[in-house]
Structure 1
Amino acid sequence: MGEPLNVGIVGLGTISKQYFDTFATLDSVRITAVADLDAELTGRVAEGLGAAACTVPELVTRDDVDLVLNLTIPVAHRDVALAAIAGGKGVYGEKPLALDTAQAREVLTAADNAGVVVGCAPDTVLGTGTQTARKAIDDGLIGRPIAASATMLVPGHERWHPNPDFYYQPGGGPLLDMGPYYLSALITLLGPVAAVTGAASRTRSTRTIGSGPRTGQSIPVATDTHITAILTHESGALSTVMMSFDVVATRTANIEIHGELGSLVVPDPNRFAGDVQLQTLESKEWEVLPVSAGYLNAGRGIGIADLAATPDGEVPRAGGALAFHVLDVMEAVLASSVSGAARTIGSTVARPSAVPLQTMW
């Protein structure tokens, strides 16, 4: 009790710096070991952090590692998670939990058998943006929720990413890339999803890289790049979701929640903070709600601190069960877009508990 959670990190790519920055502000998390396929990078990062430089097999068996933070590419998520669990470690991974629900189920089953915890990004839903909107709903400011819309509309990651190939291959696309942020927020706000109907299209067969050393290179598109879905929540609320790498621009809010008495504009779920706006039948104009819930000044990795603070026997807010349900919903949307038929969601999850207004440091 009172000791920091010792974290070993596997995968030291671009996203890792955001975790380093957050952990530097937390007393409850300590980085003790790092590993990457690039041994030179591993050594350099380890020296800068005062951590041990390891291979993955070494890291997952170290006595000074309690939890493995898995920041590898999605295709490696399952194997690294299973190695960590086999070493008796908890695991927290970047989204998605695994490439598909079959792999994700392996991870959760292994963790359950080993008695270790699984957590998964995104933890942006723990910030003041989504949580202030959650409190407004729970406080009855919009009455009974009846509908929501969620949109992520951009012209494509190849315009800024120097190596965007993965985004246009199976396992990529706008839904699997950005959907976890939006679906995690919708489930946090409105509860689990019972059924979906999806449709998808693919505008172009190739994309041209717009930045970096490969500028001008053409890459193939092997997955759909515009996804539309209707989600029927167990509560009866209906969410319309649109994820696209084909849209030039939009002025539509990221997420809107509509109830019998009012409507909410929810800030970008890829961010921790932002203004929540409310309009009711009585007010007839938008007002910005005061920040009233969530972790203040949060950054990526706050989900691990929240996990560490979760009492034994309780489910972490950014837990494996939520990540599995999100992946299940995304798989069903894509399957529905192929078959043209609605799909029932086989999994469910408890709506994560609300985060009172607080800091972690």
Structure 2
Amino acid sequence: MSQLFSPITLRGLTLRNRTVVAPMCQYSAQDGFANDWHFAHLGRFAIGGFGLVILEATAVVAEGRISYADLGLWKDEQIAPFARIVDFLHSQGAAAGIQLAHAGRKAATPVPWRNGFDETDAEKAALHFESWTPVAPSAVIHAEGKNFTAPEALDEAGIRNVIDAFVASAIRADKAGFDTVEIHAAHGYLLNQFLSPLANKRTDQYGGSRENRMRLLLEVVDAVRAVWPEDKPLVVRLSITDWHPEGWSVEDSVALTRELKTRGVDAIDASSGGFEGAVVPVGPEYQVALATAVRKEGGLPSMAVGLLGDVLRAEAIVADGHADFIALARGALDEPNWPVHARHALGAEDYSLWPKQTARVRERDRALGHRHFKTA
């Protein structure tokens, strides 16, 4: 039996298989509200057989958005469009997750397919354009000359507001019906900025030692876990390494994972990078060893992510204990039916993962001699 397509249970949530859609920003929202694009974009992954679909970085405050076109969950009015998406994902057998995030000093950036902030006045009105000054652990810009804005350093009251915002958004996520929340502490965004000495230059209780730099994330986790239902799993996305000699390391992530485990976190979404000066060895499976490290040394189930579309290798990664889940992002964009196809490639002869509305695929395969209908 395929390990990739075997069920897995975290707390009270059982996923039909180990395939996950990783969060992918769509830069298509207005005032943080999900719309028809998000519904169609996300719904196709449930139709395609994924076990868990995690929505993109969803800001816990308006100023925590990466761009003005990001999703948000900072007010109750934003719940209903998410609930519509969740209900559809559930109707197709997939679990629904949401990544709660704050971009910190990487907020207020342009929509990536535009030429910087080139919106006309008419477009600004139509798109609900906004600009603002970001916040960060320290008043240090992410990068010069790349459409980033110099941030203001958070004081302790501002830090308390961040924690409270994650809590309020988690409560809203539960009301929308999400099965799991993923706290975004990766990719150089706010919680990752506090973790990394590349961005955190503070000298108070939130800076300096590794213990101090971990403090904000742990406080967010504690506060969210206290309001997130006991039977629903909590996931944290980490940049396991900054890929920088002066930055956060695998050893740091292992120590953090052990602490997160004691505080009720159920899995680690193992990514990497996010800061200027990183030297990232991008290639197939380049982050699998990171997922393995937090799984074996940190003691929590892990999601491997990053250029993982090869079916046989994905099966081996799970079967050999390197990770518990295979998460696709760009690969899912390219092939939203990846799970149903991968399952056949691993020997499945039935079409039970396909929605009933797609039953004609089996008859096509029979007529053409595809998949297990092939004859010698």
Is TM more than 0.5 here?
no
TM-score (norm 2): 0.28
Structure with bigger strand share is: 1
Structure having greater relative contact order (Cα 8 Å, sep ≥ 6):
1
Structure with bigger helix share is: 2
